[in-house]
Structure 1
C-alpha cells in the first residue's frame, strides 16, 4: 500500500512569528539609516514594529544580531534598487543611469530608504563583527554590480574602476548630505558625475 506524504503546513503561529520578525527587520533597516547604529534601540524598534519589548528575544539572541540582519536587509534593498535601475537602462547606458540615480536629489533626501553605506560608513569600524560582516557582503555586491556594467567585465581593470566608482559615489553622497549648503551639495554630485563619466567609469 502506497503512503501519500503530505507537505507540512506552516502553522498559524509560525507564520505570525515570521511576519513579526519581518516587521522588526524592516523597522530596524530603516532606523539604522535614519538614526545610526548607536541611535537604534531595541525598545524603539519593537514599538515601531507594533510589538512589545519583551517579545524581542523570541526573535534575536542580541541587539547585535538584530543590527546584523538590519544591515543585511538595508544593503539588499539598496542593491536591488541599483539592479532595477541597471535592468531598465540600455546596456551601454546602465552604469551612467546607476550613477545618476545614486547621486540624485531623491536619493540624497531618502536617507531612511537609501544606501546604508553612505548613511553608516563612518560608524562601521565600531560595530560588532557580525554587523560588519553583513555590511561587507552587501558592499561587495554593490562593487560587483558596478563592475558588471563595464565592457571588459571580468578583467582586473574593470574591478579596479568599480572600486573607484563606488568609493566616489558613496563619498560624494556622504559629503552632499553633510553640508548645509544646497548649492554646494548639488555641485558635489554634478562634479562627481562629470568626473566619473569622463574617466570612462
Structure 2
C-alpha cells in the first residue's frame, strides 16, 4: 500500500528535478548566446538528457523560451535588489544602478541578466515569450518606481522606465564592446546620467 502511494510522488519529484535541470541548462545557454543558442539539443545535452525527453516537459521550443526567460528574470531581479533594503530614494537608486551597471555584471554573462543577449530576438518572439519579458520588466520598474523620487519634469514611473532603459541598453553596449576602454566609459556614463551627482 505504502509502496503504491509513494511511487507516484517519487515520479513527480523526479520529473520536477529533471524539469529544473532543463531550465537551468537553457538559462545558462540563453544568458550567453540568446534564444537561438538555447536550442533543444544543446539544452538537453547540457542537462545530461536525451532530446527525446524534451517533450515530456515542454510542448515546444517557444514554451521553453517563455518559461526560462520568466524564471531567469525573476532570479535576476531578486539578486539585483537583494540587500538594498537599508537604503531609500536616491541612495537606493544609486546602489541599484551601480550594481547592474558594474564591470562584474558586464563580465559575468553566464550568471547575469539575459536581456542583453535576447533583446534582438524578442522582436520576433511569440506572444507568450514577450509577455513573460513584459511582466518581468514591469516588476522591476515597479520596484524602482516605489523608491526612485521624481526628477525634474519626470514622474517616478518615467524615471523608473528611463532607468531600466539606461541599465539594459548600457549593459548591452558595454558587453558588446567589452575589452575596449569605451566599455567602461559607457558603464560610468549611464550611472551618472541615471543618478545625477553619483560617483563610481
TM-score exceeds 0.5:
yes
Using the size of structure 2 for normalisation, the TM-score is 0.87
Offset, 1:161: 0.6
Which 4+ runs in 1 deviate beyond 2 A?
89-92
Unaligned runs of 5+ in 1: 1-7
Q: Which residue of 1 aligns with 2:173?
A: 175
How far apart are the structure 1 equivalents of 2:35 and 2:70?
13
Distance 1:188 1:85, change over 3 A: farther
Instruction: Give the one of 46, 69, 78 matched to 1:80.
Output: 78
What root-mean-square deviation, in Å, do the aligned CA atoms of Structure 1 and Structure 2 show? 1.9
What TM-score results when the alignment is normalised by the length of structure 1? 0.87
Number of equivalent positions:
189
> Could you tell me whether the CA contact under 8 Å between 1:46 and 1:53 is conserved in 2?
yes
After superposing the two structures, state which structure 1 stretch, 89-98 or 68-77, moved more.
89-98
Q: Does 1:192 align with 2:190?
A: yes
CA distance in 2, matches of 1:189, 1:161: 18
1:138-158 CA-to-partner distances (Å, cap 9, x unmatched) read 111111121121246xxx810
User: How far apart are residue 180 of structure 1 and its match?
Assistant: 4.5
CA contact (8 A) 1:60 1:66 kept: yes
1:85 positional shift: 4.1
Ranges in structure 2 where 5+ consecutive residues have no aligned partner: none
